[in-house]
Amino acid sequence: MKQTIGCIVRSILEKEEKKMTFRIKPAMLKIAAAAWLLGATAAMADTTLEFTQWWEPELPAGSLRKIMDDFEAANPGIKVTLVSGPYATTRDQISVGAATGTLSDVVGLDGAWVNNLNAQGALADMNPMMDASKFDKAQVADIIKVDGKAVMFPVASFVYPVFVNLDLAAQAGVTKLPSTRAEFLEAAKKMTHADKNQYGWVLPLSLQTPSGVQNDMMSWVWASGQSMMADGKPALEGKPVVDMLTFVKSLNDAGTISPGIATKTEQEKVEEFVNDRVGMMIDSLAHVNLIRKRNPKLNFDLIPVPVVEGYTGKRGLPYASWGIGISAASKHQEEAWKLVQYLMSEKVNAKLVSLANAFPGNVNAKPDFVTSDKAFAKAFEIFKTGYLANEFTGLPVAEDLMTQFDVQAQKMLAGEQSPEQAAAAAQKGWMAKF
Amino acid sequence: MTRQKRSHHKLKRAVAPYLYLSPSLVIISLLMLLPMVTVIGYSFQNSAVLRRDPSFAGLKHYQAIFNDPVFWASLWHTLYFTCMSVIFHMTIGMIFALMLNSDRINPMLRNILRVLYILPWLFTAVIIAVIWRLLLEPNGVVNSMLLQLGIIGSKVEWFSSPETALHAVTFANIWAGYPLFMVSLLAGLQGIPKDFYEAADIDGAKAYQKLIFITIPQLMPIIISISLLDFIWTMQVFPLIWITTGGGPIYSTEVLSTYTYKLAFSSYNLSQASASAVVILLISLGLTLFYIRYQKAR
């Protein structure tokens, strides 16, 4: 009896199980189909942009990712993958990516690279994108063009004013901070006391990083509204560059430049300023917080780079920038342009440059440190009254050009040649690269 | 059938060693041979790496570097830097090894010296470069001491002056590299049988005679082997020179490695940089062959 009941129950259960299996199968199929459809739709809708840059490691942890998350939220269907690394690694990665056609959709750029990348056909022309989206060109501080193609926007700019050690200036009797080259020379002479290892100015011309040519030498030319170029070609034998070299030589001959020029790097320049060993230096505004951290007691002020006698026009302000561009090989240029627009928009740009302690790429953006910090406020004033100037941006093999100029400047400072000869030799070397 | 089996067995025996070697052969091919061949290929191309369709350039890039006076200056600086380094590595290494092997020095002091002398070997090239930059900077410790002793009249810009820069980097490299010789020679000294010296003592030999006629001949195989290896390694030194002088001032410390680096990463002329790298490869290869021959002859 028990067995019979057991058999009946088993047979009912088996039947039910079969029914369930029969019922479950279509349901599972439906779910699988829905999942596939959902996945496929998501895959179709989601575009993943790759954004290679060196900014993330230089910003507070997670801050660039947060901006990307906000962008993703504002642009459903677009995801951004950040490919971050140190500056030099990023530079090499971008060069190789340009050569192999594997450049990321959006790339962080230094002005010194764009000419080479453009020659490789690696950068997209953003002119048609700007026109199609009716982008207001007046809102951006600069558009870097090569052969008429808009290839880069400076997103954040790090300007290079003159830092003055006010205590050293006061001790030397410099009451009025220099505004012209002659005043600068006078102030440098007064601040120099070689017996105390104290000098008026510092000039880093290490060949390891020849950026001193751009930041500490050519900045004198640009500050006076002059140029090292003429009709798109080098004009190093012209009066502006020769005068600048003569001026630098006069500073050196007067013994006002801290020794070790030929191997001094930018970091060492900052260290010497921090340690009260030099009275004045041209340096990036990005170093303000570093200087304060290294020597909280240091009393310093910022002034624009002095100009030639009688110049009253707008002053060119040397700068280095975090630029942005779009890969010509990108299959998602439309989405990439959206990201570029987003980073160049007033609010986002202000947020980004506030994090980076830089000046904005959008002229309407106002970084928050400008109101909260006296030194930055002063620098912002200098920035507002002048214009950004860096003629190395967009030049072919910019670093090589700097190295060549550097070698000739070193020869001049070593007494091996005159400023005119240095300018002529550098001109010859540069022309070969154009 | 038996013949077939025998030939199959023979084939197996012939192939077996190559099968055992195949993993390392594959790794060496991928990690060494392939990059080497690729760089040699680049040196014969125009716009290598930077263009997707580079054209054949023939020997153009080799001609360009051979016509560049900076290349010849770099070659000369490389030879000076290398030869001086090897000679002084050997001399200092020998003196310290003899000192550490001597019974006349207190064992305790000997152990302390052993640690002190080997210290430079423990630092990386970057640390060595930073140490010497700080010591030799115009306001550094070395100038201060020399000024106080009255050896120099004014501050010397050791790394920044074209007259002293090459000597200064060579000096830093000598300081960094002598422990290799010291350790190798010390091991060699400890292996020389005492009987030789006892026999020399009976014959009335003086200390310098024992050094010339026993110690140096006994150490000769080590001296030659280490010197050749040191020559090959020193010729390729890059970080020490790059961090201390960057090849400057002017071109006074430009060596083949910095010259090649600048061509590649400052001028982005990867074709010429490859040609320069091939020249370094050929010089190193010549020395390596010489080393292998010497080892075989032994």
Question: Is B162 within 8 Å of A101 when comparing Cβ atoms?
Answer: no
What's chain B's Rg over C-alpha atoms?
25
As a whole number, mean pLDDT of residues B253-274 equals 92
Question: Is A260 within 8 Å of B249 when comparing Cβ atoms?
Answer: no
As a whole number, mean pLDDT of residues B248-260 equals 94
Tens digit of pLDDT for each residue in A341-385?
Answer: 999 999 999 999 998 888 899 989 988 887 778 888 888 888 888
Q: Tell me, yes or no, whether A41 lies in a domain.
A: no
The whole-angstrom distance between A264's CA and the closest CA on chain B is 8
Residue A114 near chain B (CB below 8 Å): no
Mutation to test the B interface, candidates A207, A257, A277, most B Cβ within 10 Å: A207
Q: Are residues A168 and A150 in the same domain?
A: no
Q: Which residue of B has its CA nearest to A433?
A: B267
Residue A289 near chain B (CB below 8 Å): no
Q: Tell me, yes or no, whether A56 lies in a domain.
A: yes
Residues of B in contact with A416 (CB under 8 A): 250
Q: Are residues A172 and A241 in the same domain?
A: yes
Q: Are residues A96 and A71 in the same domain?
A: yes
Question: Is A209 within 8 Å of B250 when comparing Cβ atoms?
Answer: no
Name the token pair of A394. Answer: 């967009």
Q: Is the peptide bond before B249 cis (omega within 30 degrees of 0)?
A: yes
Q: A16 falls in which pLDDT band (50, 70, 90)?
A: very low
Q: Compute the Cα dihedral for B123, B128, B130, B132 and give only its sign.
A: positive
Give Cα B30 to chain centroid, integer Å: 25
Q: Are residues A143 and A197 in the same domain?
A: no
CB of B169 closer than 8 Å to CB of B80 = no
Q: Where are the alpha helices (DSSP H) in chain B?
A: 2-28, 34-42, 60-66, 69-101, 107-122, 125-136, 141-148, 165-190, 194-202, 207-210, 216-235, 239-244, 256-265, 270-297
Q: A5 falls in which pLDDT band (50, 70, 90)?
A: very low
Q: Are residues A289 and A327 in the same domain?
A: no
pLDDT at A298: 94
Give the residue numbers spanning the domain of A276: 162-303+395-433
CATH of domain B69-297: 1.10.3720.10
Q: A146 falls in which pLDDT band (50, 70, 90)?
A: confident
Q: Tell me, yes or no, whether A312 lies in a domain.
A: no
pLDDT at A17: 47
What's chain A's Rg over C-alpha atoms?
29
Bridge partners of A109? A323
Question: Is A100 within 8 Å of B52 when comparing Cβ atoms?
Answer: yes
Residue that is written with structure tokens 């050896």 in the block: B151
Q: Domain ends where: A361, A382, A403?
A: A382
Question: Is B160 within 8 Å of A98 when comparing Cβ atoms?
Answer: no
pLDDT score of A13 more than 60: no
Percent of chain B with pLDDT over 70: 99
Q: Tell me, yes or no, whether A37 lies in a domain.
A: no
Residue A208 near chain B (CB below 8 Å): yes
Q: Are residues A111 and A240 in the same domain?
A: no
The whole-angstrom distance between B9's CA and the closest CA on chain A is 49
Q: Are residues A195 and A94 in the same domain?
A: no
Q: Are residues A186 and A97 in the same domain?
A: no
Residues 106-145 of B with CB under 8 A from A: 133, 137-139
Residue in A99, A277, A403 nearest the CB of B262:
A403
Q: B4 falls in which pLDDT band (50, 70, 90)?
A: confident
Kindly report which listed range (A9-23, A208-222, B39-53, B189-203) carries the lowest average pLDDT score. A9-23
Give Cα A244 to chain centroid, integer Å: 25
The whole-angstrom distance between B90's CA and the closest CA on chain A is 30
The whole-angstrom distance between A402's CA and the closest CA on chain B is 9
Q: Are residues A88 and A142 in the same domain?
A: yes
Residues of B in contact with A100 (CB under 8 A): 52
pLDDT score of A416 more than 70: yes
Question: Nearest 5 degrees, angle CA A127-CA A128-CA A129?
Answer: 90
Distance CA A145, CA A152 (A): 7
Distance CA A203, CA A178 (A): 17
Residues of A in contact with B51 (CB under 8 A): 99, 120
Q: B107 falls in which pLDDT band (50, 70, 90)?
A: confident
Name the token pair of A123. Answer: 């950068």
pLDDT at A125: 96
Q: Which residue of A has its CA nearest to B268?
A: A397
CB of A204 closer than 8 Å to CB of A261 = yes
Q: Are residues A187 and A145 in the same domain?
A: no
Helix then strand then coil, in percent of chain A rounded to 5, is 50, 20, 30
The overall average pLDDT reported for chain A is 87
Q: Which residue of B has its CA nearest to A197?
A: B139
Please state the domain extents for chain B: 69-297
Name the token pair of A226. Answer: 């002059």
Name the token pair of A254. Answer: 């007067």
Q: Which residue of A has its CA nearest to B51?
A: A99
Tens digit of pLDDT for each residue in A62-96?
Answer: 999 999 999 999 999 999 999 998 887 788 788 77
Q: Tell me, yes or no, whether A29 lies in a domain.
A: no
Q: A28 falls in which pLDDT band (50, 70, 90)?
A: low
Q: A20 falls in which pLDDT band (50, 70, 90)?
A: very low
Q: Are residues A171 and A153 in the same domain?
A: no
Q: Which residue of A has its CA nearest to B134?
A: A268
Residues of B in contact with A400 (CB under 8 A): 262, 266-268
Q: Are residues A295 and A327 in the same domain?
A: no
What is the number of CB-based contacts under 8 A between chain A and chain B? 87
The CATH number of the domain holding residue A120 is 3.40.190.10
Distance CA A293, CA A272 (A): 14
Q: Tell me, yes or no, whether A24 lies in a domain.
A: no
Residues of B in contact with A260 (CB under 8 A): 137-138, 157, 159-160
Q: Domain tally for chain A?
A: 2
Question: Is B159 within 8 Å of A263 when comparing Cβ atoms?
Answer: yes
Percent of chain A with pLDDT over 70: 90
**Cβ contacts of B179 within 8 Å, gap of 6 or more:** B93, B117, B118, B119, B120, B121
Residue B162 near chain A (CB below 8 Å): yes
| Closest alpha carbon to A275 in A197, A333, A375, A382 | A197
Question: Is A207 within 8 Å of B155 when comparing Cβ atoms?
Answer: no
